[in-house]
Amino acid sequence: MRTPLARVRGLGSAKEGTDHFWRQRLTAVANLPLMLFLLYSLVAFAGADHAAVAAYLGSPPVAMAMLLAVLSAVIHMRLGMQVIIEDYIHGEALKITCLMLNTFTAAAAGLASVFAILKLGFGA
Amino acid sequence: MADAKSPAPRPLSPHLQIYAPMLTMMMSIVHRITGAILYVGTLGLAWWLIAAATGPGYYGFVQGVFGSALGKLVLVAYSWALIHHMLGGLRHLVWDTIHGFELPTVELMARLNLAGSLAATALLWGYLLIAGGA
């Protein structure tokens, strides 16, 4: 905000500007209510049988909130792990491999979760 | 730049082992560690969701894994990491507004963060033990 416009025109060496920082904050704020909702869900259904859990996760408001929770979480965790990798792994080949694996892992976890929630929501 | 592959040995700035541990420094490290724990935890969440979508048989198996002594230990760690990282995130959001940088404030927020996450985790599992869910 105090940065002169001229200095951000080129968006820095990675040409991404504050995009990483901003998405980290955006998903952090989103995660606050969403993770409280997740925590509630886990605690409320800790010992419940499959039918109760499936009915809960499949109900539209819960399914939609859980979809948001998963999506916000995997974006946030991918950004966070990216910073950890960039901080500690200095070999270029290993670093790029880890960054790719990070994205693949986040995408796979996100897609699998979304598929599972939709399957429960559509009652298949 | 002519010999980019073997740069001259350059002086290194002091790293972790040279500093005496301080609360705020440990909290910073723990924020990152809890983030990494939650990364793995999200994979566990995906597993749980897939199990619920698969059917009663497989769900029973996954529930058994999480319900075992080791599974519960993992869940205690996960819940603490989630709460701790969440409270730590709140501190960061405060700092993002360019507030709370005074040392007493920083120290107080660190203590509240740690005490809050431990207390909330204890309350959570105390409730689960009493309610019989765990």
A94-102: list long-range contacts, CB under 8 Å, 24+ apart.
Answer: A102/A78
Sorted by where each starts, the structural domains of chain B and their CATH numbers stand as 22-131 (1.20.1300.10)
What is the model's pLDDT at position B18? Answer: 80
What is the model's pLDDT at position A4? Answer: 67
Query: CB distance B53–A51 less than 8 Å?
Result: no
Q: Cβ distance A113 to B49 under 8 Å? A: yes
How much is the average pLDDT of A95-107?
A: 98
- Measured in angstroms, the CA of B108 and the nearest CA of chain A are apart by 21
Q: How far apart are the C-alpha atoms of A3 and B122, rounded to whole Å?
A: 44
> Exposed e or buried b for every residue in B22-57, given b needs 16+ CB within 10 A?
eeeeebeebbeebbebbbebbbbbbbbbbbbbbeee
Q: How far apart are the C-alpha atoms of A83 and B39, rounded to whole Å?
A: 13
Q: Give me the residues of B, 11-30, that contact A with CB < 8 A.
A: none
A32 CB neighbours in chain B (<8 A) are 86, 89-90
Pick the more confident residue, A123 or B49: B49
ipTM computed for the complex: 0.90
Query: CB distance B43–A105 less than 8 Å?
Result: yes
- In SS3 terms, chain A reads as CCCCHHHHCCCCCCCCCCHHHHHHHHHHHHHHHHHHHHHHHHHHCCCCCHHHHHHHHHCHHHHHHHHHHHHHHHHHHHHHHHHHHHHHCCCHHHHHHHHHHHHHHHHHHHHHHHHHHHHHHCCC
What is the model's pLDDT at position B1? Answer: 47
Q: Among A113, A114, A115, A119, pick the best mutation site for testing chain B contact (most B Cβ within 10 A).
A: A113
What is the model's pLDDT at position B133? Answer: 57
How much is the average pLDDT of A59-77?
A: 98
Sorted by where each starts, the structural domains of chain A and their CATH numbers stand as 19-121 (1.20.1300.10)
- Measured in angstroms, the CA of B128 and the nearest CA of chain A are apart by 7
Q: Which portions of chain B are predicted below pLDDT 70?
A: 1-7, 133-134
pLDDT-derived band at A100, boundaries 50, 70, 90: very high
Angle between helices A50-58 and A60-88 (to 10 degrees): 90
Phi and psi at A13, nearest 5°, equal -65, -30
Pick the more confident residue, A5 or A78: A78
The gap between the terminal CA atoms of chain A, to the nearest Å, is 49
B56 touches chain A (CB under 8 A): yes
Q: How far apart are the C-alpha atoms of A51 and B52, rounded to whole Å?
A: 9
Query: CB distance B93–A29 less than 8 Å?
Result: yes
Place of tokens 């209510």: A33
What is the model's pLDDT at position A113? Answer: 98
